Structure 1
Amino acid sequence: MRPLIKPLILAATMITACGAYAAPAKQSAAQYQDLLDFHGTPRTAADRSFNIFFDMGAWQGYSLPRAGDVGTGFSGPFVHSLGSGQWVGLRFAALALRDAGGKQDIALREVASHAVPGALERRFAADDLDVRQTLFFADSWHALVRIELSAGKSRDIDLAVSGGGMSLAGSHLDGNGDVVTQHFAKASSTLTTQLHADSAMTGRATVSGNDYRIALDKPLHLDAGKPVTLYVVQTLRYDAQAEPPAVDYARAWDANRARWAAYLTSTGVSRLAGLSDDVARRVAAKAVVTLIGNWRAARGDLHHDGVIPAYSNPDFNGFWAWDSWKHAAALAWFAPTLARDQIRAMFDYQAADGMVPDCVFLNRADDNWRDSKPPLATWAVWEIYRATGDRAFLAEMYDKLVRYHRWWFTARDHDRNGLAEYGATDGTAIAAKWESGMDNAVRFDGVAMLKNGEHAWSMDQESVDLNAYLYREALDLGRIAATLGKPQDQAAWQAQAAATKSAIQSRMYDAKRGWFFDAKLGKPDLVRVYGSEGWTPLWAGVATAAQAAAVEKTMMDARKFATAMPFPTLSADDPHFSPVKGYWRGPVWMDQSLFGVEALRRYGYHAEADAMARRLVLNANGLAKGQATFRENYDPLTGLGYQSQNFSWSAASYLLLLRADAGESGRRLP
């Protein structure tokens, strides 16, 4: 049976989009070998104890075998679209080589195994024989292993590949010609494996229990010094009825290298005063690898591609709203097509009243409509425009952004005073806290819920970060309106922004304490908890110069926020401060720390911003020089990482932290 996959010219789909002020320094994959440790062999189907390699939005991933395992091939695959994700095989593309007519397999010894951005690479050797295996993705459907054989003398070799090994209830393999197909219980997904050689050869597939083998039907001839290339391809269909695109084997690897060269070249602008460029670019490259590793293509009820929070956490196999806004703002500078789709993926589910749900999944029945998330969508869209100049995308998104912005004041402004509150559709305080994104923040300990209307409830507390975000949204909507030639809209947004700014300055700032706080509804009381929300008005540009000066002093107080790894989400001298297990009661979350650095920059505190940014890079345990992954949050006192590994918004925040051209309050290079 001939391969199911037909030739197709494959082009690189992502284009770097760097700022115009300076050409980025060229970077290469070889510079960033083993940024992360991708070695591991699963002990169970749910094992997430090591890093997994994904690319191109694929829902299947692979790893290098654990250190000390010198057998050929790769660990996997891990199929992320089955439930919350599971390993469906222990080994993929293991090789068996034998001289034609011989009785013993050729013993291959491992020479090297490495991960480079965009690929896993292995090299083996035997007498007069060199073998290279390179695993990469041709697109979101197809994982390829490129097998290169070079002989020191002319010889004919029998070749076979094998795989499988993971026992799963209800899963079974069948072989048909040169194709092995794996079926899964209670799922329409299938995984097919083929061996692709030249047109004069085909494979024969055999299946035994959980294992399979595909052998060439005749010997492979090797001429001395003339490499021969074959491919093993594994194709994951989420829906068995879907027909994947074809692959051009001859061009797929070159397209992969070109795409990754563009990604990495975009990191050449990464820098920070007082930090070596090599360190800055290494962290930026690790951020790119992390974001692309969490990219998932449109499947099921996800209608556009996007980036999940972290494949390392079984709860995170969908798209979350405010994660998406942050991902898109960073992706804009090196993968703008994905950045635009990340925004679209959430707005595909915008409700008639303008609400955008908290999160969306492969199965829409799992989507969370109990709450939304903080309004940073317009900021992200404007960042995409700044990176790309894509006016058509602004036009596409404008009305949707307007509806979302207005929804906050329709559904979340209980007393109709122009200052909004976090809330929920079901009236529960827990969903309202989720809507803030800071689920268990101390400032929400005493909230009560107030009904605004059908499926619309508010906390009895106006949050300063929410209203600072809404102020920034109004400004950005005005900029978009101006760009689209809508002067009346621009004027209206500017007027709204001015009113919001005045209300925040007068209602939410405590001059005696020099900090911005949440305000209780119907009372003059402020919720006097020193948290990261207090510098959001500086990030948004709300504060007066005097207010900013007072906030800066508190931010730079080592007893409060200028900790070893700044800036914690709760002041370090608060009695509720819990830097290890506090979640939003003390750990450093990188989005808030990024906003803190940008807040200082916006008001001219550049030396202070640089000093705090350097701490964030250098004091995060193992991040700058080791193989540590980006973590969900960090201990502000020790720099140890906690919660999920390979966390996308931390990667996005570091990428933006180090880009001189990202963020309006960022550095401007000559």
Structure 2
Amino acid sequence: MNKLFYWALISVVLTACQSPTPKPTFSLSTPSFPANILDYTAQVDSTHYRDALVYSDQGAWFGYSFHKSQGQLGFSGPFLMTQQNGVWLSKTFAEFEVSINGNPIDLSDLKQHTKAYASHLHQSYCNESIQLDAYLYFSSPHSAVILLNATNTDQEAFDVSVQAQGTPLPDFAGLKPQVAQNRWQATFEKSPATAYVGPIGKEKATLSTQGKGYAINWPTQKLEAGSSTDFTLSQSFIFPEYDAAAELKNNQTLAPWEGLQERINEKEQTWKNLKRQQNFQNSSKKEVVLAKSLLTLQNNSRVAAGELKHAGIFPSYHYIWFHGFWAWDSWKHAVAVTRYDPALAKDQIRAMYDYMDPNGFIADCVYRDTTIEAHNYRNTKPPLSAWAVWKVFESDRDSSFVREMYPKIKTQHQWWYTYRDHDQDGLCEYGSTDGTLKAAKWESGMDNAVRFDDSRILTNPTGDYSLDQESVDLNAYLYAEKGYLAQMATISGKPEEKEKWQQERETLLPKFDQFYDAESGWYYDTNVQGNTWVKIKGPEGWIPLWAHATDADKAARLMANMMDTTLFNTHVPLPTLNAAHPKFKPNRGYWRGPNWVDQVYFGIKGLHNYGFDKEASQLIEKLIHNAQGLTEKGPSIRENYHPLTGQGMESESFSWSAAHLLLLLTDE
């Protein structure tokens, strides 16, 4: 047999222990997506155990892991994001027990293998008599399919019996289960989602309650030497706004292997499309980063539910307070996701515009369930939505989406000049709606940045509040946004508005001289009067490069500062405060020293904009290879990184880090 053909169509049972040659029930194509990019292992001891990485897909609000210890056939979890801010329902809510000729198999005596792909999880146990392969994939945003294939690798026939059972952890005292139509279902005290578990397939299986859990028993089957048989069930967690009856009916008619192959095909197409966009050659390490970025965004994606009216992406399912959508996170996620899923990118943008008031204010962050966490209306976030919409348009040329969003972004853009321009001089400030200094700093997205250490709050004529400093990054974002709005006006058939935006852009550009210090070659925030610099060298100084808001001479000075190893060209480059500053705090300083990958992206993209391609490439290489764990299989992408050691810090599985890494590896 041709070896290439053999590996292109691999049997559902692997060859680790099989003898004689098995007769597979189905043949799956081998994913080219690299296996085990993230280490999905968990030792679940309580509902609130949060150290494990979790596999999810299709925008589901639940996910699974592998067991850390051997001897269990099934998958850890599910981890329910339908509940509170994420809790584990069970150590294993579908654990299989397999018997041969009436004797239970001791799995600890068998060889174990696990593989995780973008499309599915795969666990196998085998010895000289039997091969057991368990697969888990998401058939929809509401249902996971768990499929067990048993293969007789002995020389003689035997009877095989299988039971699957699941028991909720003790914390779920308020769980209210019942059995109906051979299906276990339960409601929860703290969530509107309903859980359903049931067998799939032609073989008649019986389901019964087992405490608050369930047990499924399949009829004993005679398994000839070399032959295989399947045992399949589904687990669903469905919010009331979705049609549970239709979902459960679909589960009963699923063809499990075909569904798994469909997932593989879907992920393969995504992977091939991304690899075609990559701007690197023959780098297995960068391929790991690209795959890890895609998985991080996949695991954090959620369909619409509750207060979230459109699909979008969490900053991180892993951190208890990140189970919602944030404004500027959303714009950044959308720019990256449009590389492979423009529909999700559009919904991510819509999800935040669902929370724009008539004046143009957009909430900072919104959540599914406001009884758990309230939406934040104290502040908004920097204006990057026009950038996101335009990048979506460049991806799929959907002019209808531009026309849909253009009037909304116009309103949002004007809001800044109405409510955040204290002296009405055409330069805006960050601020808050509640008058607190803390929320005003949050509005920048750089919560505790050193540049705000001496800031004060000013009351604006509109009744909102501004910081007493005009920020260079905010006005650079607004400058860029005017350019995108001009292009969107053309698409929207409004040439007169295009001219207006271009004129505003021309008027704003000279105002950036206020922020530039020729002596140090850097852009700084200033006081509201524009005559005193807040002389802190931070990433806000290179945002004019990203926005095309400077000239070649100033760009060269900025580049020199960025490439200075005593300032920004650190082990992991472009930290949130220059390394020579006395307040530089690289170890968990949040925005006072650690590297945030979004700001690294803006800096590197800005260098490319002015022709400093060599320097930009050097910084990308340092980031990719020096940020600990990025190029290794297993560790997750972190919220930020230590600029001197490369240590990953704060939240794991962080979406905007993944989004900007994906962009750095696929940008033109």
TM-score normalised by structure 1 residue count: 0.90
Residue number in structure 2 paired with 1:11? none
Q: CA deviation at 1:43?
A: 1.9
Q: 2:367 aligns with which of 361, 364, 378?
A: 361
Q: 1:508 aligns with which of 503, 515, 534?
A: 515
Identity %: 36
Task: Go from structure 1 to structure 2 and tell me whether the alpha carbon gap of 1:241 and 1:388 turns closer, same or farther (over 3 Å shift).
Answer: closer
The yes-or-no answer on 1:583 pairing with 2:582 is no
The yes-or-no answer on 1:181 pairing with 2:185 is yes
Residue number in structure 2 paired with 1:105? 104
Letter in 2 for 1:249: L
Q: Which stretch of the first structure deviates more once superposed, 264-273 or 626-635?
A: 264-273
Residue number in structure 2 paired with 1:16? none
Letter in 1 for 2:88: W
Equivalences for residues 108-187 of structure 1 within 5 A = 108=107, 109-152=110-153, 154-168=157-171, 169-176=173-180, 178-187=182-191
Q: 2:53 aligns with which of 38, 47, 51?
A: 51
Q: Is the CA contact (8 Å cut-off) linking 1:70 and 1:110 kept in structure 2?
A: no
Letter in 2 for 1:474: K
SS of aligned partner of 1:130: strand
Q: 1:294 aligns with which of 289, 300, 306?
A: 300
Q: 1:549 aligns with which of 548, 553, 556?
A: 556
Q: CA deviation at 1:211?
A: 4.0
Q: CA deviation at 1:98?
A: 2.8
Letter in 1 for 2:570: T
Q: 1:281 aligns with which of 280, 287, 293?
A: 287
Distance 1:260 1:164 in 2: 32
Q: CA deviation at 1:128?
A: 3.7
Residue number in structure 2 paired with 1:490? 498
Q: 1:441 aligns with which of 430, 440, 449?
A: 449
Q: Is the CA contact (8 Å cut-off) linking 2:111 and 2:127 kept in structure 1?
A: no
Q: Which stretch of the first structure deviates more once superposed, 593-602 or 241-250?
A: 241-250
Q: 2:474 aligns with which of 466, 472, 475?
A: 466
Letter in 2 for 1:646: S
Letter in 2 for 1:52: V
Equivalences for residues 255-654 of structure 1 within 5 A = 255-269=262-276, 271-272=278-279, 276-364=282-370, 366-504=374-512, 506-654=513-661
Task: Go from structure 1 to structure 2 and tell me whether the alpha carbon gap of 1:541 and 1:558 turns closer, same or farther (over 3 Å shift).
Answer: same
Q: CA deviation at 1:185?
A: 2.1
Residue number in structure 1 paired with 2:208? 205
Letter in 2 for 1:261: E
1:545-602 CA distance string (max 9 Å, x none): 1111111111111000011111001010001000012110110000000111111111
SS of aligned partner of 1:254: helix
Residue number in structure 2 paired with 1:80? 81
SS of aligned partner of 2:94: strand
Q: CA deviation at 1:165?
A: 4.5
Q: Is the CA contact (8 Å cut-off) linking 1:156 and 1:219 kept in structure 2?
A: yes
SS of aligned partner of 1:325: helix
Distance 2:558 2:656 in 1: 25
Q: Is the CA contact (8 Å cut-off) linking 2:102 and 2:161 kept in structure 1?
A: no
1:188-222 CA distance string (max 9 Å, x none): 32211112121x513222312x4421112x33354
SS of aligned partner of 2:652: coil
Q: Is the CA contact (8 Å cut-off) linking 1:41 and 1:63 kept in structure 2?
A: no
Kindly tell me the number of residue pairs found equivalent between the two proteins: 627
Q: Which stretch of the first structure deviates more once superposed, 472-481 or 355-364?
A: 355-364
Letter in 2 for 1:254: Q
Q: CA deviation at 1:437?
A: 0.1
SS of aligned partner of 2:587: coil
Q: CA deviation at 1:486?
A: 1.9
Q: Is the CA contact (8 Å cut-off) linking 2:98 and 2:105 kept in structure 1?
A: yes
Residue number in structure 2 paired with 1:252? 259
Q: Is the CA contact (8 Å cut-off) linking 2:84 and 2:191 kept in structure 1?
A: no
SS of aligned partner of 1:384: helix
SS of aligned partner of 2:64: strand
Task: Go from structure 1 to structure 2 and tell me whether the alpha carbon gap of 1:252 and 1:596 turns closer, same or farther (over 3 Å shift).
Answer: same
SS of aligned partner of 1:643: strand
Unaligned stretches of 5+ residues in structure 1: 1-26, 662-670
Letter in 1 for 2:481: E
Letter in 1 for 2:294: V
Letter in 1 for 2:480: R
Residue number in structure 2 paired with 1:34? 36
Q: Is the CA contact (8 Å cut-off) linking 1:96 and 1:106 kept in structure 2?
A: yes
Q: Is the CA contact (8 Å cut-off) linking 1:272 and 1:614 kept in structure 2?
A: no
Distance 2:111 2:360 in 1: 57
Task: Go from structure 1 to structure 2 and tell me whether the alpha carbon gap of 1:405 and 1:241 turns closer, same or farther (over 3 Å shift).
Answer: closer
Q: CA deviation at 1:252?
A: 1.8
Task: Go from structure 1 to structure 2 and tell me whether the alpha carbon gap of 1:396 and 1:320 turns closer, same or farther (over 3 Å shift).
Answer: same
Letter in 2 for 1:489: E
Q: Is the CA contact (8 Å cut-off) linking 1:175 and 1:207 kept in structure 2?
A: no
Q: Is the CA contact (8 Å cut-off) linking 1:189 and 1:240 kept in structure 2?
A: no
Distance 2:49 2:72 in 1: 20
SS of aligned partner of 1:228: strand
Q: Is the CA contact (8 Å cut-off) linking 1:159 and 1:220 kept in structure 2?
A: no
Q: Is the CA contact (8 Å cut-off) linking 2:72 and 2:95 kept in structure 1?
A: yes
Residue number in structure 2 paired with 1:668? none
Letter in 2 for 1:625: E
Q: Is the CA contact (8 Å cut-off) linking 1:29 and 1:264 kept in structure 2?
A: no
Residue number in structure 2 paired with 1:60? 62
Residue number in structure 1 paired with 2:228? 227
Q: Which stretch of the first structure deviates more once superposed, 305-314 or 105-114?
A: 105-114
Q: Is the CA contact (8 Å cut-off) linking 1:270 and 1:277 kept in structure 2?
A: no
Distance 1:469 1:29 in 2: 41
Q: CA deviation at 1:479?
A: 1.1
Letter in 1 for 2:497: D
1:198-256 CA distance string (max 9 Å, x none): 1x513222312x4421112x333545544333321100023398526324522321221
Q: Is the CA contact (8 Å cut-off) linking 1:30 and 1:116 kept in structure 2?
A: no
Distance 2:491 2:585 in 1: 45
Q: Is the CA contact (8 Å cut-off) linking 2:205 and 2:216 kept in structure 1?
A: no
